[in-house]
Structure 1
């Protein structure tokens, strides 16, 4: 019963973090819209029926029933058409999309709003208003990641021996040791579980990555200084050459790629260790790059996601997850019975990762995402400045509404992908345990 309650608590905590993240995202938009005196009739967290709302000044603040997003409504998101009319109509479905979007942007136009329309602001102000939302998600991710890395720490491999491999086997070989297999150098040296290696070849060492690199580069006889039961002991052995996993530029093993290197035959221990500020920044940089790579690779993951959803194939660990899947992972984390600080670290990392994803996704230069409006503002600024340079007439504001047909296509694809991920998260979820 306790496990179920902890699972539910994890899901609730994640959704609270989700709502706070969405609220702050929209607050970023709202703050700069008001700073630049754009009228904002509505600030809402969620979609669907309104659960609660209050009017403060000219803005209605509220919470809606479905906590899967949010929005602020600004007056005059799109400029009038060429004829100056707001509610022009056309029989063309594409023109209809454009004109419906333009009309909706003026639904609550009041006397005096002529100077408070979004499109009348300079391009840089419009860019800032739209960028402020994703930027809030980036700030949340940065603060949470920094706090987790520097206060709680990260699970890192250490120079403590977790296990000793009995024999020399290429890492590509999946079988147990046989009597005919030569003993591993670590076993021959008398290395034992829980020994802490403090020096290699007489030189002090405390970092597993550095120790691993030195072992790989070694040949012949070596000395290993270990701390065992509070006392230091020097062991000697002969390093063997073996086929081991290749390392990438970051020092991580590359799956199914092998190289010939020095080999001792023991596994490193692991411990949750706080990172320095510099290490934390490096780690966040790696996570940011990983997020960008994942976003670029997203279309290529759709076939695997489809097969995992409808064809019974195994769901891959790096499969895209939606809000339901992330909440489910949060519930699993809470139900694992891990130490409190580790559980808190996992939950904060989950919320931070969600915010990083929100930032990257919203920066895509496509409507209806924030990035689409930002690109529209940049394009307007460019063409107006070019007109000045070449002494041509001011082309006026760029009509983002003309891109609404593209926006509908993008929104349709996004909805289809969201539904696919939702079904996958229910019928074949990603599991961490």
Structure 2
């Protein structure tokens, strides 16, 4: 049964990925047609075509490899300085430019002269290119709202579910087995007589409003004597506790575990973690936090390469915040549906996984680099700036900005992305990330 649910989870994720890609390309297609750019192809996937159908002047289809998608618009690049499209050159860099220019014109038919992408106003090109990733952002927003407001998410509360008996390091064998040795000291919580069900209401006179706040305060006071306000069975109590220092899992500013351990203050309690449905304001705050974490993760991608290499080729442990690719996320999707948890929790986790995927697609595609959508947006914006400056200083119109000249850069960027994708794929196969 577990194997069946794992396979089902992978299939569900792949279908969700295909829908996300199709939804992305639909954003490009819709606005290309609004601004009367001819689109010969709308394809989900790469490689051999499995199915296609022509409607109007566009061929709609699905290809064999579900790792992306595209729409083909004619006239993506303007003609060269000589007004020609197929001029040749012995320079390999120049050939890249001319090949890209030629490909964007290879399907031009009589009457298409007014339907070329590059002839559209810069703001129209920005809309066409922006609405692909924006569709992913819309989908992520809707899915996150469904999860946060409909299903709810586990939220740790400053109420004790378990008092740990002894002080053991997070990365020790004793922590994994839950056993105490004869020489392991008693935890401050056990020594102070704290019990399961106690709600911690204050820390050294400061009102406690969340478990994250309490956790940060405990960690910041190693070996300090502190006063805790407790609510027990409807009665208010005060407990004086001598905290200790312990080796704990490192966390980020949002309380999420990160790679490595730290020495920090330790009390020795585990919180209750009920599933809480959030209001619209709380949901927006949560999504803002997720978007901020997504941006930080993308910025940090280069720094993850050494640990990915170690996980892929040196047998090192895969870090908690390691990037995962399509294969890795699909396997996580399989793990999610195979978890021993209520169906609602598994569905919510799968939806959150797909929401995170779409948020990542939005953030990555907005990078101002060719061949990403953000690179075309940057080119259109630069053209608008040049033309506005020329008009302001009464100079001749400089004409369209030739994005084709950036194709050598696009090939370098694509090569870097390809190498990183292959590295992540290998790590996902030989040393995958699992959830439980």
- What TM-score does the superposition give when structure 2 sets the normalisation length? 0.89
2:329 is aligned to 326
Q: How far off is 1:151 after superposition? A: 1.2
Are 2:382 and 1:364 aligned? no
Q: How far off is 1:96 after superposition? A: 1.1
Deviations 1:337-361 (A, max 9, x none): 2111110111011111111111111
Are 2:269 and 1:266 aligned? yes
In the alignment, structure 1 segments of 5+ residues that lack a partner are none
Cα 1:274–1:388 change in 2 (3 A) is: same
Kept in 1, the 8 Å contact 2:226–2:243? The answer is: no
The partner residue of 2:232 within 226, 231, 238 is 226
Question: 1:198 and 1:220 mapped to 2: Cα distance?
Answer: 13
1:419 is aligned to 422
Question: 1:363 and 1:318 mapped to 2: Cα distance?
Answer: 22
Cα 1:162–1:111 change in 2 (3 A) is: same
Farther off after superposition, 310-319 or 330-339: 310-319
Farther off after superposition, 423-432 or 19-28: 423-432
Question: 1:182 and 1:310 mapped to 2: Cα distance?
Answer: 40
The partner residue of 1:353 within 353, 356, 364 is 356
Report the secondary structure of 1:398's partner residue: coil
Report the secondary structure of 1:49's partner residue: strand
In the alignment, structure 2 segments of 5+ residues that lack a partner are none
Are 2:87 and 1:88 aligned? yes
Kept in 2, the 8 Å contact 1:29–1:133? The answer is: yes
Question: 2:323 and 2:169 mapped to 1: Cα distance?
Answer: 33
2:67 is aligned to 68
Kept in 2, the 8 Å contact 1:29–1:132? The answer is: yes
Alignment of 1:148-167 (within 5 A): 148-166=147-165
Deviations 1:385-410 (A, max 9, x none): 11111111000001111111111111
Are 2:46 and 1:47 aligned? yes
Alignment of 1:238-249 (within 5 A): 238-243=240-245, 249=253
Q: How many residues are aligned here?
A: 425
Question: 2:360 and 2:319 mapped to 1: Cα distance?
Answer: 19
Are 2:386 and 1:380 aligned? no
Cα 1:209–1:34 change in 2 (3 A) is: same
Farther off after superposition, 177-186 or 350-359: 177-186
2:296 is aligned to 293
2:318 is aligned to 315
Farther off after superposition, 239-248 or 212-221: 212-221
Question: 2:58 and 2:350 mapped to 1: Cα distance?
Answer: 33
2:145 is aligned to 146
Are 2:393 and 1:390 aligned? yes
Deviations 1:224-254 (A, max 9, x none): 2213xxxx35555322243367986546688
Kept in 1, the 8 Å contact 2:198–2:230? The answer is: no
1:38 is aligned to 37
Question: 1:422 and 1:259 mapped to 2: Cα distance?
Answer: 36
Question: 2:227 and 2:306 mapped to 1: Cα distance?
Answer: 51
The partner residue of 2:239 within 227, 237, 240 is 237
Cα 1:251–1:309 change in 2 (3 A) is: closer
Question: 1:426 and 1:181 mapped to 2: Cα distance?
Answer: 39
Kept in 1, the 8 Å contact 2:200–2:229? The answer is: no
Question: 1:181 and 1:347 mapped to 2: Cα distance?
Answer: 40
1:101 is aligned to 100
Kept in 2, the 8 Å contact 1:123–1:378? The answer is: yes
Q: How far off is 1:282 after superposition? A: 1.5
Deviations 1:205-237 (A, max 9, x none): 77434555777789566552213xxxx355553
Kept in 2, the 8 Å contact 1:170–1:242? The answer is: no
Question: 1:309 and 1:220 mapped to 2: Cα distance?
Answer: 46
Cα 1:43–1:170 change in 2 (3 A) is: closer
Question: 1:170 and 1:325 mapped to 2: Cα distance?
Answer: 30
The partner residue of 2:199 within 197, 208, 211 is 197
Question: 1:198 and 1:242 mapped to 2: Cα distance?
Answer: 18
Kept in 2, the 8 Å contact 1:190–1:235? The answer is: no
- What TM-score does the superposition give when structure 1 sets the normalisation length? 0.89
Question: 1:116 and 1:168 mapped to 2: Cα distance?
Answer: 71
1:303 is aligned to 306
Cα 1:314–1:368 change in 2 (3 A) is: same
Q: How far off is 1:267 after superposition? A: 2.1
Kept in 1, the 8 Å contact 2:79–2:85? The answer is: yes
Cα 1:210–1:424 change in 2 (3 A) is: closer
1:28 is aligned to 27
Q: How far off is 1:203 after superposition? A: 10
Report the secondary structure of 1:279's partner residue: helix
Kept in 2, the 8 Å contact 1:197–1:205? The answer is: no
